[in-house]
Amino acid sequence: MLVKLLAYTPEPEKAVACAAKLCYAASDIDTLYDGLTEEKTAAFLDHLAAIGHESPIEHASFTFGIEGVSRSLLAQITRHRLASFSVQSQRYVKENAFAFVLPPEIEAIPEAKEEFLRAMEEDQRHYESLTAILTARHEKEFLAQGEDEKSARRKAEKKAIEDARFVLPNACTTKMICTMNARSLMNFFGLRCCNRAQWEIRQLAEAMLKEVKKVAPHLFQFAGPGCVRGACPEGNMSCGRAQEMREKYKNL
């Protein structure tokens, strides 16, 4: 897994403090940044956190480059709808010797790992076989329509992989660009840093949190699973390790 913070709102903490200042002080747009020192910025952010006023933090956005994650993770992360996603398409990009994510629980058991790797190899063979069969058929159709051989071959393969991709597994890796504002990220971290979250998206959430803490440490000082900011919200499904999690995310 590779996670990289590609872009973000310039001076994200000041942008949020600026919005908060407008809400609570008699300031003009042209003078909002006047006197907004690091100490006053931190004070505004602390005030927002204390009273639960979250809308000002929406003014800071963060864009991540993510690769080496599974299509299974893709199905989970896109449930966070207040975000923007651009994902590498299996319709346009051919999966030659596709990379895949090997779950640790499977990797830890030799016979399970062997079975899994065999399944990946079979999926690759089926994908290549279907691509070849469909390409041959589509190429004949395009040639009959008057396309030259090069064009017919290119269009045929593109059309073929649209359907051949249906045999690819959830383990197949993908790449994406993801943008969220700070409020959406706080919600994302609250849900996906939790011990009850699936291991892969929890790993991703922790990596993303480390990235944003580098550029907005005060803004994300209380980010993490729900138990970081109060009682565990998981009820009788709690992992029972709230104090451990608070220490972990305090020092993340």
192 is catalytic: yes
Strands, DSSP E only, in 171-232?
Answer: 173-181
**DSSP code of residue 100:** B
41: exposed, middle or buried (Cβ count in 10 Å: 0-12, 13-18, 19+): buried
Residue whose structure tokens are 């629980």: 105
Contacts of 66 (CB under 8 A, 6+ apart): 1, 2, 3, 4, 175, 176, 177, 178, 204
Q: Are 95 and 157 in contact (CB under 8 A)?
A: no
Catalytic hit among 183, 192, 229, 246: 192
d(C-alpha 8, C-alpha 214), whole Å: 12
Catalytic sites, residue numbers? 192
